[in-house]
Chains A and B, each alone.
Chain A
Amino acid sequence: MVKFVKIIPIALKVGTVTRKYPFERPLITESFRGAIEVDPVKCTGCGACTRICPPKALSLIREGETLILRYFVGKCIFCGMCADICPEKAIAITKEFELASENLSELNVDVEHELKKCVKCGATFVSTKLLNKVRSQVEALPDDIAELCPNCRRLEILKRFTGGR
């Protein structure tokens, strides 16, 4: 009984500690990592983030003639490695955490990329944006073999070296 009475002045001194969350701002610190956001303007569809992602929350899906970078928040562990590894710095970490949903498909975010077609065989092989970026950085790449798929490119170069035999 006496012990309990001792608590009363302490409780009066501390006061109410309850955070009235839905009616008050949540306690988000500077270092908090929430859901990521992919910038569709900067993203080239190279797939570096899909390789580093531990739970494969980011994945590249080929859908006909489009390449889709799919981000499924439901699997994400918010490690931020994709933002570190992205060569274009297209991935930003937001402070968003209110991600609850009744439907799993609502948790997907897709970024659609256009695929480049091989001029020889017609197969799709790389996103147009990534090819343009590589062409702008590599000067020694001739225009006629840049738009060939890897298989056709090998055959073409072999043909040039052997003189068409």
Chain B
Amino acid sequence: MDITTISSFSKEDLEKALKRIKRSIWVYHINTGGCNGCDIEILDVLTPWFDVERFGIKLVASPRHADLALVTGPITIKTLPRVVKALRAMPRPRLVLAIGSCAVGGNIWFESYSTIGGFYKILDKLHELGVEIDKIVYVPGCPARPEAIIYGVALLLGLVKQKVHYVRKKA
């Protein structure tokens, strides 16, 4: 039996696992057809200027070693099978950080013929294929600032509180 298809990963297990990886989270970077802007910002985060290794965040070359996938880009139709393959290779808990406007909402390619348009649109497809995503954090920005990416990881690990909330104002 394929280990990745087991969906008996409860909420308590996720909390336990998050507590375990809080001090050292290994990330794997997937570019799914982005413009490289967010990729350069991710590179910025890993340089000594921001130095995320003080939080134990480390870039790894294989999704099999990774706790967190950094997804940038609006998921083009060409890259979709590779994204699914890379996410399937990740061990549970499978955490995803959707970085940049493209990965969050599709940016200006939200209704283009060659893109899916945002990571949230493939969630159902991933569920059908047996690839469960345990936690997603969306980081808007075009490109997202290095500080915003650090904040997103901190939010994913539960170290900071969420700042944005749904607001409905009356004019």
- Mark A residues whose CB is within 8 Å of B: 17-19, 21-22, 26-27, 35, 38, 40-41, 43-45, 54-57, 72-78, 96-102, 104-114, 127, 129
Contact = CB atoms under 8 A, between A and B. Distances in A.
18 contacts: A17-B48, A40-B169, A45-B171, A57-B105, A74-B105, A75-B110, A78-B142, A97-B141, A97-B148, A98-B163, A100-B148, A100-B152, A102-B155, A104-B138, A105-B166, A106-B164, A109-B167, A111-B170
A65 to B, nearest CB: 13
A22 B150 contact: yes
B163 A99 contact: yes
A77 B101 contact: yes
Contacts of A97: 141, 144-145, 147-148
Given A75-B110, A76-B140, A97-B148, 5 more contacts: A21-B50, A74-B140, A102-B162, A104-B105, A104-B138
Interface of B: 48-51, 54, 101, 104-108, 110, 118, 120, 135-142, 144-148, 150-152, 154-155, 160, 162-171
B107 A75 contact: yes
A111 B171 contact: yes
Contacts of B144: 97
Contacts, number: 134
A18 B167 contact: no
Contacts of A38: 169
Contact of B140 (A44, A56, A99): A99
B101 A74 contact: yes
Contact of B110 (A27, A56, A102): A56
A72 B120 CA distance: 14
Contacts of A43: 171
A26 to B, nearest CB: 5
A76 B101 contact: yes
Contacts of B171: 40-41, 43-45, 111-114, 127, 129
A74 B145 CA distance: 14
Contact of B137 (A41, A45, A75, A101): A101
Given A55-B105, A102-B162, A109-B167, A78 B141 contact: yes
By CB atoms of chain B within 10 A, which of A27, A54, A100 has the most? A100
B162 A101 contact: yes
B51 A18 contact: yes
Contact of A22 (B136, B142, B160): B160
By CB atoms of chain A within 10 A, which of B110, B136, B145, B154 has the most? B145
Contacts of A40: 169-171
Contacts of A99: 139-141, 148, 163-164
